[in-house]
Structure 1
Amino acid sequence: MRSFFKYVLATITGIGIVVVILFAILVGMITSAINQVGSSKESAVPSNAVLYVTLDYNIPERSSPNPLEGLNVPGYGEMKTLGLNDILSRIAAAKADSRIKGIYLNPRQVNVGMASLKQIRDALLDFKESGKFVVAYSDMYTQKAYYVASVADSVFIHPEGALEFKGLSASVTFLKEALDKLGVEMQVVKVGTYKSAVEPFLLNEMSPANREQMSSYLESMYEGILSDIAGTRNIASDTLRYVADNYLIRSAEDAVHRKFADGIRYKDEMLTSLRKRLGAEERRELPAVSLLDYTEANSAESSGGRIAVLYAAGDIVDGEGAENTIGGDRFSRELRRLRRDDRVKAVVLRVNSPGGSALASDIIAREVELTKKVKPIVVSMGDYAASGGYYIAALADSIFAERETLTGSIGVFGLIPNLQGLLNNKLGIHIDEVKTGRFSDLLGSPDRPLTAEERAIIQMEVERVYKTFVGKVAKGRGMTAARVDSLGQGRVWTGSQAQAYGLVDEIGGLQRAIQSAASKAKLSNYKVVSYPSVKDPFSSLLGASKEKIKMWMFDDGLAEYRSYIEQLRTVVRSSGIQTRLPYTVEIR
């Protein structure tokens, strides 16, 4: 009886919490709707304004509805997200918008990968071709913030501010000693000298092969960044490298002296100068609209065909997958629909994935190959398109990558934990079983190590998957299997390195890929449509899974820890044979 009342009370409490949250959301939605009555999107932009750009929010591949964003729900009122697709399209729209006279760039923390940041920087360069100005100001420039700010006509810094410029670094967290203390042995089978995704479970430091590949792609990325900054700041790349190597910028004065910045200003002085530039009254607020709020004008409907942009972002997983993963079944179904849709004349597969399930990757790759026989399909790579991410791209008509895209990693591994030490020795838990055959419990007993025969079976399967992977790449890229194997072995390349080796066709962003798809489809007039389709916020809320709601709520307050939690969850759900990028790479 006591248990009965406990469960009843828990149920009532849970229902009450849900009702309160839903009521707060409903009130917020109604309030938002009321605030919009009588005002048009056009009137939100002053007639003589600057576009205010910060980039200090979450930047996924594309925007998706979050009904909790902007609502005054205690603890969840500050969540801000804007997709890379909207950032690029809004900057492009502002270029032609007569109301926008320039961009006020105020970067500090930039929450996006280097390849995506390169696309944003290129969009700002394109904006400048209109003759409109771009000015940058911040009290603290991180390296990513300065990289994007260096595109500005003028860069200003707070008198007590700082500008970080010290070169790139990347680190790997190793878990072997911790696992040893817990009594957990990670049993690994793999193919690929450079397939280092398993190293954090087996070593306490990088292997020589992994250190070599990381140094190689980090240096390739660094050279590109230095070249870009040199081009816009008129400082030689060798000088930039010298400044970074010796850490010569330690104050705002140093930044100006080394020509990284054009002047030192307080925030009020910066705003005053912008008001004067716009001809605005000194006592009035700066006429500005945030990139988050800026709405581009609706473009006229195209009478031509459609180019479908299919966004594939996240880990590649078996089955349907979640919104932030690439489910093999879900994405193969999307490709079939696009292939059979006569309105769609070409497909651009936008890949931003470190890989995942080998089976799901093969399922999607098959649909890419079938689509290629019916209509053009072009791949555009984001920050990552490695291992399984490259697997699903290899059979397309052509592949575009950013210079900084991490790609390749053509290799395969399997990870089987042996929990005998933890269960038996640490927790006193023992498992006993009966079976009808020698291999009935293959991969089914967590409290014992693999036998030599079992390990040999799994190794053969991993090698078979690797051979299939190499064969798909060879077919798609017009190479011999031996050549692909020499470029594979799990090695990670930057986009520029991959292009030199024939794994990528051209360096360029999503827009270049769309233009290429249009050319292949012989389209001069077309409409770009994004897939999978995005639901409206209310429908998204009603159909939201428990995982999705937790993700929305996690975005606020705990966002800085999210990547670490996701890494742990990835390890837990990485069953079966994997084609995955070596660990999570964060460039600083």
Structure 2
Amino acid sequence: MKKTKFRYAAVLFFFAALSVFSYDFHYFSPQEMSQLWGPTPGVRESAVSAFANPSYNGLQVPGYSDVELLYATDGYALDAMQHLGMFYNTRRLSLGLLYSSLPDAEDQLNFNIGLSFGSRAISFGLSNGSVITPSDGRFFGNYRLGALSRPMRFLSLGFSMGGTYNGDWFDMGGEVGVRPLGSNLLTLFGTYSRTFHDSDHEDFWSVGLDVKPIPGIAVRGAYSKDERISLGLSVSWEGLSISGSSVTPRNFSSVTNMVYGIGLGDYVATPSLPIPVTGSRYLELNLKGTLRTKPSYFSGGTFLVETLRVIKKAENDPDIRGIVLNTSGFSADRESLWELRRALENFKSTGKHIVAFIDEADFDIYYFASVADRIIMDSGGTLTMFGYAVGRGYFKNTLDKLGIGVTELRYLTYKSAAESYTRTDLSGADREQYNAYLDDIFGYTKTVLMRARSLSEEEFNAIINEEYLYSSRSARARGLVDGTGREEIVGSTIRELEGRPIYSYAVHGNPKTSLMADSYTSYRYDARETPEPYWGEPARIAVIHASGQTDMDRGMAARQLSRLIRDVAQRVYVRAIVIRVDSPGGSAVAADYVAEAIRDARRQVPVVVTMGSAAASGGYWVSMYADHIVAAPYTMTGSIGVIASWFYDNGLNEKLGITLDTLQRGDHADMLTGFIMPRRDLSEAEQERYRLYIMDMYDEFVGKVAAGRGMTKEAVEAIAQGRIYSGLSAVELGLADSIGGLSDAIEIARNLAGIQDGRQIVFEEYPTASLFDSIMANLVTARISLPEETPFVRDLRYRISQNGRVLPLLPLEFTLQQ
């Protein structure tokens, strides 16, 4: 709050300081503004609109901007200049520079700066103008306040007021725009204003229409109180707009003014002429770095949501003929690779091509690259095709040597989270469930690779079991890649696919590490789309990330996350929520906090859960109340069950030379007494009490899953007992609704929310980290350099901190390796 007040105070001080310089020169009235740029600011999508109403640019999409040049003459004569202006605006800021040569005043230069805030439904703004006379350097200040509201697709309402700081001039007025058809095909507009000067005042009004018979062509006409007619035409294409308009008496006996304009940007040239574009370039997806599921400050690599949106945009972009998939230095989890590959398959289905480049590729990266029409391997690269393995570490012997005892409070067949500390190898139940999981995901990958590379089963088995390690030459001889080399070979491969060379490349990712880009023929390619031609706030889908252990304040931070989910569901323009769950579980209380928040949110908007690499145990608890659950083939889910473990002193204190003596009231008061951990194991009676407690919580878990999934408790019990499943099996068993990823979840959410096909959707990702928090986190991390904790130490410390607690939890030390 203090920061916000300081910002507003600074802005007000800035405008007040400029008001000291106030002289009485030519004042730009609303009449002159209207005659200069035709339709009202609330109707015309133009950089110059913010000059007349500073709230206009607050309606724009973040990250979009426009630049516009205007030249107005007295009559037809091009050398009879009256106004020359340049205008720029982005979401919060507008700048205007207007040079005027008028017969009733000295030449003057008007510099205008405006600030705005709001949304695409309602916006407020203020601006300051400083008018300088070049001949003697004097200047005066003026101000303008404005508001624009677009409560629906059919209506735009505007208000503005302004004047000189010395009070000689003042005006105020309103405007209205109506779109009977709901789109920009036909817009009717009108404005009314009153200008005060000394003791006099003057009224002004105008009415008109704006017609866009085809995208990229706009025809405008207006009639004003002073019986003048303004006629205009503009043509837009690919971010460029050229316009011209004339002002005449109503009998068309002469031309009073001509106004010429040229604009560049996202709004001023929207929509674009539907001139067919012959694809002339490829898009390089430079994926170097680690793929992250959510954006944050100071994080290297690429981001999943953004990359998916870029692929979708390229799929519909007629100028993009294909994609170069640069996997050099790229890493991602198996589920995210599947999502990207699925998006690239959709891209290919439109008839466009993909060429993949690999250098140091493993089984996962090769699976990802196999979506391409051609795979090129660096001549010095390596390809490893080891397959999949499940690995688990066991630390019973380590704890025995340390003098730490562990009692596994396990009463469910497959709930094996404590086995790492009580066994030295896989139990029969673990072997059963992990073998089934491996069979699912390995079988899926095998089928995909055999189809993509036209391999027989015998060939595939030989690749995995006999050869498995390849140089570029042996990989090509085996038919695993189609060429060896670098950018030259990639370029020649594209020429072969397209029948002609491609000289221009767009790049998504870091251009400095790009394979194909150069500074002369390349440009950055992002996920931004052309703004849709509708007024009002667009439909919003919130993407909320629920990652990490289910903990109240760490990991998933359930206390904050549950409040966030409820808050987002209450927001007017949020039509649906997609929750990305990536969690091995943890605290049952924390998981239930989030699950209940999802159930509450469903009463407001549809909620779709998309599962990441793991959404099991407490992670599944979080997911179970969603309207629809989407899982990827590689997702690890299920593990419906709870478990506890009891760590106790089994000689540790003796080794450390520590003795303890206690007094107690209550037969079990000494259970938690001890140094570092309890001094004793549980008694048989205490273990029996734990059994009752664990089974009671398990029964609650099963009941909630049954209620959330519309199943009977008996049906859930038959597939529960803590057993894990792949996403493929989860769909078959009814624990998930469909196979898919984040893009599929968003499309399902769109359909559930009733959002029309073709309407643009604004994605809002949560939680958002502030720049300050990210800076502080990096400073704290960098303050002192300590050796990184091993997974064993980190997991053991967590288990001891949760000693005796019943948890819906996967084995934290569990890893899937190649």
Normalising by the smaller structure, the TM-score range is 0.7 to 0.9
Q: Secondary structure at the match of 1:346?
A: strand
Superposition deviation, residue 100 in structure 1 = 4.7
Is 1:257 aligned to 2:481, yes or no? no
Q: Distance in 2 between matches of 1:492 and 1:317?
A: 21
Q: Residues 8-157 of structure 1 correspond to what in structure 2 (within 5 A)?
A: 50-66=282-298, 80-97=300-317, 100-108=320-328, 110-157=330-377
Contact 1:48 1:287 in 2 (8 A): no
Is 1:587 aligned to 2:811, yes or no? no
Amino acid at match of 1:477: R
Q: Distance in 1 between matches of 2:527 and 2:786?
A: 30
Alignment match of 2:689 (pick from 431, 447, 457): 457
Q: Distance in 2 between matches of 1:288 and 1:313?
A: 38
* Higher percent of residues as helix: 1
Contact 1:64 1:83 in 2 (8 A): no
Alignment match of 2:657 (pick from 428, 434, 437): 428
Q: Distance in 2 between matches of 1:389 and 1:420?
A: 33
Residue 527 of structure 1 corresponds to 761
Amino acid at match of 2:752: K
Superposition deviation, residue 489 in structure 1 = 1.0
Residues 312 and 221 of structure 1: is their aligned pair in 2 closer, same or farther, counting only changes over 3 Å?
same
Residues 550 and 100 of structure 1: is their aligned pair in 2 closer, same or farther, counting only changes over 3 Å?
farther
Q: Distance in 1 between matches of 2:291 and 2:504?
A: 32
Residues 208 and 360 of structure 1: is their aligned pair in 2 closer, same or farther, counting only changes over 3 Å?
same
Superposition deviation, residue 486 in structure 1 = 1.7
Alignment match of 2:616 (pick from 380, 386, 405): 386
Superposition deviation, residue 371 in structure 1 = 2.3
Q: Distance in 1 between matches of 2:443 and 2:523?
A: 32
* Higher percent of residues as strand: 2
Is 1:309 aligned to 2:539, yes or no? no
Superposition deviation, residue 141 in structure 1 = 1.7
Q: Secondary structure at the match of 1:378?
A: strand
Residue 235 of structure 1 corresponds to 455
Q: Which range moved further: 162-171 or 98-107? A: 98-107
Amino acid at match of 1:139: D
Q: Residues 329-408 of structure 1 correspond to what in structure 2 (within 5 A)?
A: 329-408=559-638
Q: Secondary structure at the match of 1:374?
A: coil
Alignment match of 2:503 (pick from 279, 282, 287): 279
Structure 2, unaligned stretches of length 5 or more? 1-87, 91-238, 240-263, 265-278, 506-513
Contact 1:378 1:513 in 2 (8 A): yes
Superposition deviation, residue 586 in structure 1 = 2.0
Q: Distance in 1 between matches of 2:337 and 2:791?
A: 18
Q: Distance in 2 between matches of 1:98 and 1:119?
A: 23
Is 1:473 aligned to 2:705, yes or no? yes
Amino acid at match of 2:766: P
Superposition deviation, residue 518 in structure 1 = 2.1
Residues 557 and 220 of structure 1: is their aligned pair in 2 closer, same or farther, counting only changes over 3 Å?
farther
Residue 4 of structure 1 corresponds to none
Superposition deviation, residue 122 in structure 1 = 1.2
Contact 1:191 1:490 in 2 (8 A): no
Q: Distance in 2 between matches of 1:482 and 1:553?
A: 54
Contact 1:102 1:133 in 2 (8 A): yes
Q: Rg: which structure is higher?
A: 2
Q: Distance in 2 between matches of 1:100 and 1:247?
A: 38
Alignment match of 2:719 (pick from 487, 491, 499): 487
Q: Distance in 2 between matches of 1:295 and 1:562?
A: 38
Residues 157 and 527 of structure 1: is their aligned pair in 2 closer, same or farther, counting only changes over 3 Å?
closer
Deviations 1:70-113 (A, max 9, x none): xxxxxxxxxx2332222222222333456654332232554322
Superposition deviation, residue 410 in structure 1 = 0.7
Residues 563 and 509 of structure 1: is their aligned pair in 2 closer, same or farther, counting only changes over 3 Å?
farther
Q: Distance in 2 between matches of 1:573 and 1:101?
A: 56
Q: Secondary structure at the match of 1:373?
A: coil
Contact 2:327 2:359 in 1 (8 A): no
Residues 308 and 434 of structure 1: is their aligned pair in 2 closer, same or farther, counting only changes over 3 Å?
same
Deviations 1:199-225 (A, max 9, x none): 110111100110111111011001111
Q: Distance in 2 between matches of 1:505 and 1:65?
A: 34
Q: Distance in 1 between matches of 2:634 and 2:490?
A: 33
Residues 178 and 533 of structure 1: is their aligned pair in 2 closer, same or farther, counting only changes over 3 Å?
closer
Is 1:411 aligned to 2:645, yes or no? no
Amino acid at match of 1:518: R
Deviations 1:92-141 (A, max 9, x none): 23334566543322325543221111001112222323444321223332
Superposition deviation, residue 153 in structure 1 = 1.2
Q: Residues 197-208 of structure 1 correspond to what in structure 2 (within 5 A)?
A: 197-208=417-428
Q: Flag the structure with more relative contact order, 1 or 2, with Cα contacts below 8 A and sequence separation at least 6.
A: 1
Q: Distance in 2 between matches of 1:239 and 1:550?
A: 52
Q: Residues 165-244 of structure 1 correspond to what in structure 2 (within 5 A)?
A: 165-237=385-457, 239-244=459-464
Contact 1:408 1:498 in 2 (8 A): yes
Amino acid at match of 1:297: R
Q: Secondary structure at the match of 1:395?
A: coil
Residue 295 of structure 1 corresponds to 526
Contact 2:396 2:424 in 1 (8 A): yes
Q: Which range moved further: 373-382 or 108-117? A: 108-117
Contact 1:49 1:288 in 2 (8 A): no
Amino acid at match of 1:263: G
Q: CA RMSD, aligned part only?
A: 3.4
Superposition deviation, residue 375 in structure 1 = 2.8
Superposition deviation, residue 528 in structure 1 = 4.0
Residue 440 of structure 1 corresponds to 669
Q: Distance in 1 between matches of 2:363 and 2:542?
A: 35
Q: Secondary structure at the match of 2:441?
A: helix
Residues 278 and 568 of structure 1: is their aligned pair in 2 closer, same or farther, counting only changes over 3 Å?
farther
Contact 1:110 1:144 in 2 (8 A): no
Alignment match of 1:577 (pick from 806, 810, 814): 806
Q: Secondary structure at the match of 1:578?
A: coil
Q: Secondary structure at the match of 1:138?
A: strand
Contact 2:328 2:357 in 1 (8 A): no
Q: Distance in 2 between matches of 1:238 and 1:551?
A: 51
Residues 563 and 184 of structure 1: is their aligned pair in 2 closer, same or farther, counting only changes over 3 Å?
closer
Deviations 1:290-327 (A, max 9, x none): x9974332552674432222110111102x32xxx212
Q: Distance in 2 between matches of 1:353 and 1:292?
A: 38
Amino acid at match of 1:513: A
Q: Distance in 2 between matches of 1:60 and 1:285?
A: 22
Amino acid at match of 1:300: P
Residues 138 and 529 of structure 1: is their aligned pair in 2 closer, same or farther, counting only changes over 3 Å?
closer
How many residue pairs get aligned? The number is: 520
Q: Distance in 2 between matches of 1:467 and 1:352?
A: 24
Amino acid at match of 1:147: Y
Q: Distance in 1 between matches of 2:427 and 2:655?
A: 30
Q: Distance in 2 between matches of 1:573 and 1:540?
A: 27
Amino acid at match of 1:434: L
Deviations 1:214-267 (A, max 9, x none): 111011001111122223222245532343123365443332233211123356
Q: Which range moved further: 436-445 or 194-203? A: 436-445
Residues 439 and 463 of structure 1: is their aligned pair in 2 closer, same or farther, counting only changes over 3 Å?
same
